[in-house]
């Protein structure tokens, strides 16, 4: 594995010639309640992507720190990109990687709002003949059902809850303030998920669920399952494309 953020260009060139695929974490700058930092999604995506890159001998790229966090703009600190800006950013980076000889790109997304823009960028790159595998914490929902004690605020909804807090305790414990952690289970509007809406209109703290039972050990189990499934999918993808 080579970390491009701390590598010289000659090292990156050698890694590309050796056939390393690129791994790109994508996060967000978004509120995560009173106990987690604004950069939670980017920290998590970067940490998980690093383990994936280690497992597949990949070229770890610097993260895209900003994402489409429009739904959380009602809280101070949240800074959002438009879906089109994010799509074009991933598309431009993919084109640049292809020009320099990288044979394939794996994106690791850490924020729900980024899914569609990344998928559309991946499709654009695929149409141009550049293989892209876009991952969104595969197996998270299944392993979370086994690991966490608290109930989710909604199906597959993990935000500043026990899941994210546990993962951050495993990757960046100094950034977590469990003494400030409080549960919140807002009543989700009937049109939640089928109409654009600002989450702050029905949620006070920015927490969705109960982060208090979070532990680093749970975080390691969650991350381990995500990484294992990601590596399995990468192996299938690489075999398909011969890369």
* pLDDT at position 187: 94
* pLDDT at position 139: 97
For residue 116, report the phi and psi dihedrals to the nearest 5 degrees. -65, -45
* pLDDT at position 156: 84
Picking from 208, 155, 176, 132, the residue whose alpha carbon sits closest to that of residue 44 is 176
Q: What is the CATH T-level fold of the domain 2-241, as seen in this structure? A: Rossmann fold (3.40.50)
Rounded Cα distance, 207 and 102, in Å: 40
The mean predicted confidence, pLDDT, of the chain is 98
pLDDT-derived band of residue 115, with 50, 70 and 90 as boundaries?
very high
* pLDDT at position 170: 99
Rounded Cα distance, 176 and 202, in Å: 24
Q: Give pLDDT tens digits for 118-169.
A: 999 999 999 999 999 999 999 999 999 999 999 999 888 899 999 999 999 9
Q: Could you tell me if 159 and 113 are in contact, meaning their C-beta atoms sit under 8 angstroms apart?
A: no
Rounded Cα distance, 141 and 229, in Å: 12
For 76-209, list the strands marked E by DSSP.
105-109, 132-135
Q: Give pLDDT tens digits for 56-103.
A: 999 999 999 999 999 999 999 999 999 999 999 999 999 999 999 999
Q: Give pLDDT tens digits for 163-202.
A: 999 999 999 999 999 999 999 999 999 999 899 999 999 9
Query: Domain ranges in the chain?
Result: 2-241
Q: How many CB atoms lie within 10 A of CB 89?
A: 18
Mean pLDDT of 200-224: 98
Task: Tell me which DSSP letter residue 112 carries.
Answer: G
* pLDDT at position 141: 95
Note the helical H segments in 100-201: 115-127, 140-147, 162-171
Q: How many angstroms separate the Cα of 85 from the Cα of each of 92, 178, 239?
A: 10, 34, 32
């Amino acid at each position: 594995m080579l970390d491009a953020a701390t590598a010289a260009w000659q090292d990156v060139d050698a890694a590309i010639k050796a056939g390393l695929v690129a791994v790109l974490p994508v996060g967000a700058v978004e509120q995560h309640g009173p106990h987690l930092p604004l950069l939670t999604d980017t920290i998590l995506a970067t940490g998980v992507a690093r383990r994936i890159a280690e497992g597949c001998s990949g070229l770890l790229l610097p993260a895209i720190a900003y994402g489409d966090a429009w739904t959380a703009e009602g809280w101070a600190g949240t800074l959002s990109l438009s879906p089109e800006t994010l799509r074009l950013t991933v598309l431009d980076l993919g084109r640049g990687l292809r020009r320099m000889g990288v044979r394939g790109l794996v994106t690791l997304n850490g924020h729900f709002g980024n899914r569609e823009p990344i998928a559309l960028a991946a499709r654009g790159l695929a149409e141009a003949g550049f293989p892209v595998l876009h991952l969104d914490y595969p197996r998270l929902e299944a392993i979370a059902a086994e690991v966490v004690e608290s109930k989710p605020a909604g199906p597959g909804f993990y935000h500043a809850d026990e899941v994210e807090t546990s993962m951050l305790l495993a990757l960046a414990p100094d950034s977590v303030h469990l003494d400030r952690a409080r549960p919140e289970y807002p009543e989700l509007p009937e049109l939640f998920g089928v109409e654009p809406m600002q989450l702050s209109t029905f949620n006070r703290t920015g927490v969705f669920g109960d982060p208090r039972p979070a532990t680093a050990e749970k975080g390691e189990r969650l991350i381990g399952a995500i990484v294992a499934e990601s590596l399995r999918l990468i192996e299938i993808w690489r075999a398909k494309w011969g890369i």
